[in-house]
């Protein structure tokens, strides 16, 4: 026997019945995106490595330590499995000049890849759903995206999710803050861990996001970026806050919320929960007005967010949010193989009429008894059983038996008019 192969560590199969929960979430998202007039975009999983180096920043953790990058042996190109999708979406928008006739609201779903230690809700192949609004400069669209995410939590029946916001201002304001921050951190160099020392001059803003308990008090006293913001940046932030308040959206200003990627400016935000341990962020985003220009497109403002699908589904399970697992409308019981031609013909008519039907099929041991078939019909969750017995077929009929209402009521229906009585299987 050949050696049994397994999936790559941190890259998981999603199997029934769990895959039904993923489909349920995706259906909720598609419906919600349509109501907010966001349109779907699908970009390649592989991109040129330079896209992420230029877009995310050379000294970010993702680029430095987490990307799956390689040289294409056929043509020598340097390629990377996408670690996130904003850069790829922006590349697509710039490459195809999607903003030539005005702003666009877009969304995506799909797998991302980062080489990090697998843990609960965080894997090497993970999945994100993202919403991006490009070509719009005002805080109204920032607020719209936050309202979109908040509406999703309500659709999913989630509670205990809170919103944190901050403003990163503009590059010149960040440079002033950066200089003050470096000076402050240098005064406390004896408290910095090795990671902070490495970032001190390359990316000091990320030190504010440290999880090291020994550095917390020192970081709390660091200069706050919001104190360096000019009038325009403050007006943008105040506009966002006013719109959130007008819509009854509670928020907390978190001055240490800086996000891990270089492309953000002005509004940044996260939806977080305490129900998932250390992996508490389920949605994160912000404004990235300079990114399109950074990757070679015509400069345009933009804002967006991404949610971690695995984490959201963990939270759905944790909170016991309502989820109706899919079940067929009917299960076809076939006592004898001779009934298959008539059964299959009838089932195709029913399916064409919108009825979900699962047909009993033979295993290596045969079709099994009627009793075993009815047990499988019950286990399928179907509301009705369709019995294609010899007596029924001789009369040109099928028995329709109720499985869920406790009555066990049954009636004969003509095979020749399956489309006519299909509706009873949906009730």
Amino acid 127: pLDDT: 96
What is the pTM for the complete model shown? 0.87
In terms of domains, do 315 and 380 share one?
no
In terms of domains, do 307 and 334 share one?
no
Domain encompassing residue 399: 330-426
pLDDT beyond 90 at 36 = yes
CA–CA separation, 417 vs 346, rounded Å?
9
In terms of domains, do 247 and 348 share one?
no
In terms of domains, do 343 and 289 share one?
no
Sign of CA dihedral 255, 259, 260, 266: negative
Q: How many CB atoms lie within 10 A of CB 193?
A: 12
- Among 85, 131, 139, CA closest to 105: 131
Residues in the chain: 427
Q: List beta partners, residue 69.
A: 80
Average pLDDT, the chain: 91
In terms of domains, do 402 and 422 share one?
yes
What are the tens digits of pLDDT across the range 232-271?
999 999 999 999 999 999 999 998 887 766 678 999 999 9
In terms of domains, do 56 and 140 share one?
yes
Classify residue 353: in a domain, yes or no.
yes
Amino acid 117: pLDDT: 77
- The pLDDT confidence band at residue 59, using thresholds 50, 70 and 90, is low
Question: Residue 87 belongs to a domain with what CATH number?
Answer: 3.30.930.10
Residue 422: left (phi > 0), alpha (psi -120 to 50), or beta?
A: alpha
Domain boundary among 281, 296, 319: 319
Q: How many CB atoms lie within 10 A of CB 100?
A: 8
Counted domains in the chain: 2
Q: Is 164 helix (H, G, I), strand (E, B) or coil?
A: strand
Q: What is the DSSP string of 74-110?
A: TT--EEEE-S-SHHHHHHHHHHTTTTTTS-EEEEEEE
In terms of domains, do 343 and 375 share one?
yes
pLDDT beyond 70 at 129 = yes
Question: Residue 415 belongs to a domain with what CATH number?
Answer: 3.40.50.800
pLDDT beyond 80 at 156 = yes
CA atoms within 13 Å, Cβ hemisphere of 371: 0
């Amino acid at each position: 026997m050949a050696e049994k192969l397994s999936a790559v560590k941190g890259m998981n199969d999603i199997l029934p019945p769990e895959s039904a929960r993923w489909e349920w979430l995706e259906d909720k998202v598609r419906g919600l995106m349509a109501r907010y007039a966001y349109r779907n975009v699908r970009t390649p999983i592989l991109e040129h490595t330079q896209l992420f180096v230029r877009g995310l920043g050379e000294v970010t953790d993702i680029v430095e330590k987490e990307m799956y990058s390689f040289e294409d042996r056929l043509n020598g190109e340097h390629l990377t499995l996408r670690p996130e999708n904003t850069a790829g979406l922006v590349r697509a928008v710039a490459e195809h000049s999607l903003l030539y006739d005005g702003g666009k609201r877009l969304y995506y779903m799909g797998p991302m890849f980062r080489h990090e230690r697998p843990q609960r809700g965080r894997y090497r192949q993970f999945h994100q759903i993202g919403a991006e609004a490009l070509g719009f400069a005002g805080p109204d669209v920032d607020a719209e995206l936050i309202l979109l995410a908040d509406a999703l939590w309500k659709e999913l029946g989630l509670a205990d999710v809170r919103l944190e916001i901050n403003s990163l201002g503009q590059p010149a304001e960040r440079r002033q803050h950066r200089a003050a921050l470096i000076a402050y951190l240098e005064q406390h160099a004896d408290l910095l861990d090795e990671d902070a020392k490495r970032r001190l001059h390359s990316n000091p803003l990320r030190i504010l996001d440290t999880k090291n308990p020994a550095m917390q008090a020192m970081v709390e006293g660091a200069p706050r970026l919001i104190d360096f913001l000019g009038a325009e940046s403050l007006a943008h932030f105040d506009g966002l806050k006013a719109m959130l308040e007008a819509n009854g959206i509670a928020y907390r200003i978190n001055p240490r919320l800086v996000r891990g990627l270089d492309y953000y400016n002005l509004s940044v935000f996260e939806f977080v929960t305490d129900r998932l341990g250390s992996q508490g962020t389920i949605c994160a985003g912000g404004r990235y007005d300079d990114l399109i220009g950074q990757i070679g497109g015509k400069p345009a403002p933009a804002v967006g967010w991404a949610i971690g699908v695995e984490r959201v589904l963990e939270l759905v399970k944790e909170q016991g949010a309502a989820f109706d697992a899919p079940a067929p409308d009917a299960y076809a019981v076939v006592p004898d193989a001779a009934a298959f031609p008539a059964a299959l013909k009838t089932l195709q008519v029913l399916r064409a009429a919108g009825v979900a039907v699962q047909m009993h099929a033979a295993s290596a041991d045969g079709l099994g008894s009627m009793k075993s078939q009815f047990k499988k019909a019950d286990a399928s969750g179907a509301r009705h059983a369709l019995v294609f017995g010899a007596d029924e077929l001789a009369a040109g009929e099928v028995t329709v038996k109720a499985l869920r209402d406790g009555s066990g009521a049954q009636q004969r229906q003509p095979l020749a008019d399956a489309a006519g009585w299909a509706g009873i299987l949906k009730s």
